Amino acid sequence: MTQPEELDRWFPRLPEPSPAQRLGIVVGGSLSKGLEVKLDPQTVVEGLAVGRYVVVHGRTGRRFFSIINDVALDAVNPLIERTPPDVSDSFIARVHEGTSTFGRIHVAPMLVMEGESGEPKPVKTIPAHFTPVYTASEEDVALVFGRETEPGYFYIGDPLEMEGVHVALDLNRFVERSAGVFGKTGTGKTFLTRLLLAGIIRQQVAVNLVFDMHNEYGWKSQDEARQEVKGLRQLFSTGQVSVFS
């Protein structure tokens, strides 16, 4: 089995993502505090999560690449919180959903893409009222992070709640500066670090000297489920990795 096949087996690809779907419209916000979005009646609040990427399609052709940082419930009449209707009748529940009661999300614009090239730029303005908001498509994510098929890019995973949308890392730019992997216990720091090291070795963009105090990157290791996973020495068995003790 070749090294690319071995890496693909270690990091299996997920199914193709679904196309972008409309979520709602912008109803308020500011550049400093973010945008308030009223969800469409057909949008399921439980289907959205903090950390998901969305795109606001501006009227001037700009696309605001944003991230959800809050999900909330709202109502036209505040008194409905104190005197909720009897929703034991499913028809009554459907009448209220999306009209007198609805969901809201708060999104923070991160980058803006405009023009034919779609090159991401810093956000210096915001879209107008009633601008539609969509889920970020694979093309949107690729414009921001790059494509794994481009030279020097390496697939490292998928965004939160967006299975099948691949995020690629520009390893040439990555190795130009110091970097670190931080997180709470059990969040996958070792796994991500091993993945980054594998990408650097595979693309041959730099040489790493790893002080492996817990023997997690050399020959083999264990994941969170105590299952054995191959280390870098097994993945690259043709001489790219040397282990010293």
Beta strands in 129-200 (DSSP E): 132-135, 153-157, 167-170
Burial of 13 (0-12, 13-18, 19+ CB in 10 A): exposed
- Provide the pLDDT for residue 12: 56
Sign of CA dihedral 46, 51, 54, 56: positive
Contact assessment for residue 56 and residue 63, using Cβ atoms and an 8 Å cutoff: yes
Q: Give counts: helices (H), strands (E), the chain.
A: 6, 11
Beta strands in the chain (DSSP E): 22-30, 34-39, 53-57, 63-75, 101-113, 120-122, 132-135, 153-157, 167-170, 220-222, 228-230
Tens digits of residue pLDDT in 28-87? 999 999 999 999 999 999 999 999 999 999 999 999 999 999 999 999 988 888 888 887
- Provide the pLDDT for residue 119: 86
Per-residue model confidence as pLDDT tens for the chain (245 residues):
555 555 565 555 545 556 789 999 999 999 999 999 999 999 999 999 999 999 999 999 999 999 999 999 999 988 888 888 887 888 877 887 878 899 999 999 999 998 766 789 999 999 999 999 999 998 999 999 999 888 889 888 888 778 888 899 999 999 998 888 898 887 888 888 888 998 998 888 999 888 888 788 887 777 666 778 788 888 888 878 888 88
Q: How many residues does the chain have?
A: 245
Contact assessment for residue 40 and residue 34, using Cβ atoms and an 8 Å cutoff: no
